């Protein structure tokens, strides 16, 4: 069965719902991890978990993708690793909730750091398998539109972080982890139920040739695009608020809101450009994105005026939005059918590299 010329929006909406659950879970993790480490007397593990998170985000998506491709090739099953990741994440959420409920005096507290580490791993098991399936939901030329919609939903939730944090604090630590487990399991089940028939029937060789040679330079190109994307994210999320706070101390308290505003702008700009980008050459869009990221980042550093710094941030956000539109479609277009999930995992891992470096350096 070949893909039609129409986008299968029910499947895309279910993937968007999974993305929303992921974003909320990550925000909850960042909100409560320091609190839990302090309450359970594990503050000495803070640096270890920051470094572990950076490593996990880079290496687990490719490993998950490689394993998923193996099961697809040998067993014909597309959802094995996805299901394992969803199930493990939901289970760990519930275990952490139980540990929190038992309190710091309980003997269960010993397992908390291990559960956090396992949670980081399981949260990254199903990312690359899920995103590699979008080629079954839309024709190749419309993938930038699909990615633009997913990027819009994801980044707008990130931009609404203060609202999510308020909800998380309202629920409290135990209930937050229970709700997190329900969100991940529920959205994962929904995506599996809606998408499974299309994914299992879809013949990948109709989009990418199973015999298409994938050279070392192909993976280098995919890693390079992923690093460009990660650079934009790192500048906006990690570097920009720190730079504003240091260079313009009078605005230190609202520096984070500048960053969230730029994320929202990037999401809206990318979605508005997605139909246009779908008609363009992917490599040309990548070059334009790189130039915007480079010019914006350099301008941000050399100016000493707040307004020019914000304008430079808008330029970076524009480049970040465009590179998001074409990153996954570029990877899919250049990979063989046998290695798409692995290639998507490499792309996702590469996109997290610089963010991890910034987090470790600024910790």
Q: What is the pLDDT of residues 253-295, one digit of tens each?
A: 888 888 999 999 999 999 999 999 999 999 999 999 999 999 9
My answer on whether 226 and 126 are in the same domain is no
Within this chain, do residues 87 and 188 fall inside the same structural domain, yes or no? Answer: yes
Please report whether residue 252 resides in a domain.
Answer: yes
Supply angle C-alpha 111, 177, 88, rounded to 5: 65
The tokens 């999974």 sit on which residue?
18
Question: 35-62: per-residue pLDDT in tens?
Answer: 899 999 999 999 999 999 999 999 999 9
196 and 230 assigned to the same domain: no
Instruction: Give the model's confidence band at 201: pLDDT under 50 very low, under 70 low, under 90 confident, else very high.
Output: low
Do residues 173 and 35 touch, judged by C-beta distance below 8 A?
Answer: yes
Domain assignment present for residue 3? The answer is no
Instruction: Measure the CA–CA gap between 224 and 229, rounded to whole angstroms.
Output: 9
**What is residue 206's predicted lDDT score, i.e. its pLDDT?**
41
pLDDT digits (tens, 9 = 90+) for 295-338: 999 998 888 888 999 999 999 999 999 999 999 999 999 988 78
Which among 107, 96, 88 has a CA at the least distance from the CA of 37?
A: 96
How far apart are alpha carbons 26 and 298 in whole angstroms?
Answer: 30
Whether 127 and 234 share a structural domain: no
Q: Using one digit for the tens of pLDDT, what is the confidence trace for 73-111? A: 887 788 899 999 999 999 999 999 999 988 888 888 999
Tell me the C-alpha distance between 31 and 165, whole Å.
7
Q: Tokens in use for 2?
A: 């070949």
pLDDT interval class at 198 (50, 70, 90): confident
8 neighbors 135 (Cβ within 8 angstroms): no
Q: Contact, 137 vs 146, CB < 8 A?
A: yes
Residue 246 forms part of a structural domain: yes
Using 50, 70 and 90 to split pLDDT, how confident is the model at 339?
A: confident
Domain extent for 234: 219-326+337-362
For residue 130, pLDDT over 50 is answered with yes
Indicate whether 164 and 240 sit together in one domain. no
My answer on whether 198 and 231 are in the same domain is no
Q: Is the same domain home to 322 and 247?
A: yes
What are the tokens at 179? 């709700």
Report the alpha-carbon distance of residue 165 to residue 209 in Å, rounded. Answer: 45
Closest CA to 296 of 257, 273, 262, 260: 262
Query: Which two tokens mark 161?
Result: 């972080």
90/180 same-domain check = yes
Q: Domain for residue 348, yes or no?
A: yes
295 in the same domain as 241: yes
Report the domain count for the chain: 2
Rounded CA separation 124/54 (Å): 12
Q: Do 199 and 224 fall within a single domain?
A: no
Same domain, residue pair 186 and 247 = no
CATH of the domain at 344: 1.20.1250
Show Cβ contacts of residue 107 under 8 Å, excluding neighbours closer than 6 positions.
none
Does residue 2 have a pLDDT over 50?
A: no
On the question of pLDDT at 204 being above 60, the answer is: no
Instruction: Identify the pLDDT of residue 153.
Output: 95
The CA-atom distances, in angstroms, between 318 and each of 180, 235, 289, 302 are 32, 12, 8, 19
Distance CA 291, CA 311 (A): 15
CB count in 10 Å sphere of residue 79: 22
pLDDT band at residue 346, thresholds of 50, 70 and 90?
A: very high
């Amino acid at each position: 069965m070949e893909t039609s010329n129409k986008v299968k929006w029910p499947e895309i909406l279910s993937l968007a719902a999974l993305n929303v659950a992921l974003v909320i879970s990550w925000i909850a993790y960042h909100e409560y991890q320091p609190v839990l480490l302090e309450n359970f007397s594990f503050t000495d593990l803070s640096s270890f978990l920051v470094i572990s998170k950076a490593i996990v985000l880079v290496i687990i998506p490719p490993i998950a993708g490689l394993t998923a491709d193996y099961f697809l090739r040998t067993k014909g099953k597309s959802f094995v690793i996805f299901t394992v990741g969803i199930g493990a994440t939901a289970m760990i959420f519930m275990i952490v909730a139980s540990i929190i409920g038992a309190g710091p005096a309980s003997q269960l507290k010993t397992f908390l750091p291990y559960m956090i580490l396992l949670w980081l791993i399981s949260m990254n098991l199903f990312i690359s398998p899920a995103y590699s399936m979008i080629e079954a939901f839309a024709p190749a030329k419309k993938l930038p539109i699909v990615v633009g919609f997913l990027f819009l939903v994801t980044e707008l939730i990130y931009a609404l972080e203060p609202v999510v944090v308020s909800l998380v604090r309202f629920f409290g630590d135990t209930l937050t982890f229970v709700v997190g487990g329900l969100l991940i399991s529920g959205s994962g089940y929904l995506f599996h139920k809606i998408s499974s028939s299309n994914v299992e029937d879809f013949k990948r060789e109709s989009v990418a040739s199973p015999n298409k040679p994938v050279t070392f330079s192909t993976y280098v190109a995919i890693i390079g695009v992923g690093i460009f994307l990660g650079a934009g994210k790192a500048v906006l999320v990690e570097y920009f608020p720190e730079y504003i706070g240091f260079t313009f101390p009078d605005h230190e308290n609202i520096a984070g809101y500048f960053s969230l505003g730029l994320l929202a702008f990037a999401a809206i700009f990318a979605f508005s450009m997605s139909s246009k980008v779908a008609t363009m050459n992917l490599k040309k869009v990548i070059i334009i994105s790189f130039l915007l990221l480079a010019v914006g980042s350099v301008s941000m550093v050399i100016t000493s005026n707040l307004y020019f710094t914000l304008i430079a941030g808008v330029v970076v956000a524009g480049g970040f939005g465009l590179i998001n539109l074409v990153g996954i479609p570029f990877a899919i277009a250049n990979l063989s059918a046998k290695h798409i999930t692995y290639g998507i995992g490499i792309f996702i891992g590469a996109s997290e590299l610089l963010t991890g470096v910034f987090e470790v350096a600024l910790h």
